[in-house]
């Protein structure tokens, strides 16, 4: 695949030949995954009661310092062929998964596309979810047109200084907002059947401790741009898993912080939103990456 010989799949544009070496994400020219599972803790209309068919890809093009999945960001996983990836998608369908949930797929996009096309030729029918941190090239998102049914996209930062501080990218909002725009252009307004999302865009806003004002700016931007034509998922599940140099990252989001963001969303008039209730700030929500079903 020519793009892997001069990789510009994400905004970092490393221009490396991934058949010979690696760029920022450390990914070569083969799919590498760490876990295949049925996941029951996505948004209710994604997991339902049968579960979302998650496929967790190794490595990442972002590198958030607070990442809960550092084990796979650092490369844990198993390399597989495109044919095996296609089979895994079909096996998830056979397990009863409501969808195929591609978690952190950016750096494998052309390989995934080919694998999904093969799987569809062999009977894959359930929706495809592109679950991304949104540091994406618009061209990569365009590559997935007519492949992806649901975009499950983070919008992590409004202030680019926070993107540089926490995720080593000084231009996060510029690229993420443009990518989300393309996602929306592809899938349009939500299609829900029997309480399950079949097509549409969900944007996740993870509240970072001490950064409530930035979360509010993100929510205001999303509602001003898309109104209730998308779903906004407001998340309080940030969990510190080690000691960080920034003190605010060493604690969970407080109830007051979360309630402030929720009340702000309500004041804007947002209807299509998810909030988290109960104890979501727990390491038990971090998957056990054990090469299951690979």
| pLDDT score recorded for residue 288 | 82
**What's the confidence (pLDDT) of residue 30?**
97
Six token digits for residue 4: 């892997």
293, part of any domain: no
CATH number at residue 130: 3.20.20.70
Q: Is residue 217 part of a domain?
A: yes
In a domain, 45, yes or no: yes
Q: How far apart are CA 158 and CA 175, in angstroms?
A: 11
Supply the range of the domain harboring residue 163.
2-285
- Residue 222 within a domain: yes
d(CA 8, CA 62): 14
294 part of a folded domain: no
What pLDDT, on a 0 to 100 scale, did the predictor assign at position 19? 97
Instruction: Name the H helices within the chain.
Output: 2-5, 44-47, 70-73, 82-94, 109-121, 138-143, 160-167, 172-187, 212-226, 255-268
13 in a domain, yes or no? yes
- What pLDDT does residue 277 have? 78
**Looking at residue 282, what is its pLDDT?**
54
Instruction: Please tell me the pTM assigned to this model.
Output: 0.96
- Domain membership of residue 290 (yes or no) is no
pLDDT at site 279: 60
Splitting the chain (294 residues) into consecutive groups of 10 residues, what average pLDDT does each group show? 94 98 97 97 96 98 93 94 98 98 98 98 98 98 98 98 96 98 98 98 98 98 98 95 95 96 98 83 67 89
Structural domain tally of the chain? 1
Asked if residue 291 is part of any domain, the answer here is: no
Q: How far apart are CA 88 and CA 192, in angstroms?
A: 25
């Amino acid at each position: 695949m020519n793009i892997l010989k001069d990789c510009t799949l994400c905004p970092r544009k490393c221009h490396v030949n991934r058949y010979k070496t690696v760029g920022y994400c450390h990914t070569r020219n083969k799919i590498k995954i760490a876990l295949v599972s049925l996941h029951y803790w996505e948004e209710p209309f994604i997991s339902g009661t049968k579960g979302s068919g998650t496929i967790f890809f190794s490595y990442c093009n972002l590198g958030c310092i607070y990442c809960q999945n550092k084990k796979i960001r650092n490369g844990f996983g198993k390399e597989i062929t495109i044919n095996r990836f296609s089979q895994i998608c079909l096996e998830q369908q056979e397990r009863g998964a409501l969808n195929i949930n591609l978690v952190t797929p950016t750096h494998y996009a052309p390989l995934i596309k080919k694998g999904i096309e093969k799987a569809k030729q062999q009977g894959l029918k359930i929706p495809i979810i592109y679950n991304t941190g949104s540091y994406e090239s618009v061209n990569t998102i365009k590559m997935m047109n007519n492949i992806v049914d649901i975009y499950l996209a983070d919008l992590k930062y409004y202030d680019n200084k926070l993107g540089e501080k926490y995720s080593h990218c000084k231009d996060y909002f510029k690229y993420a907002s443009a990518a989300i725009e393309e996602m929306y252009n592809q899938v349009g307004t939500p299609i829900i059947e029997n309480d399950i999302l079949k097509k549409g865009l969900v944007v996740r806003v993870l509240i970072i401790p001490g950064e409530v004002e930035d979360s509010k700016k993100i929510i205001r931007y999303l509602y001003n741009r898309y109104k209730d034509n998308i779903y906004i998922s407001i998340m309080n599940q940030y969990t510190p898993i080690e000691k960080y140099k920034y003190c605010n990252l060493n604690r969970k989001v407080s109830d007051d912080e979360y309630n402030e963001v929720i009340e702000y969303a309500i004041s804007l008039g947002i209807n299509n939103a998810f909030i988290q209730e109960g104890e979501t700030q727990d390491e038990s929500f971090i998957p056990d990456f054990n090469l299951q079903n690979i």
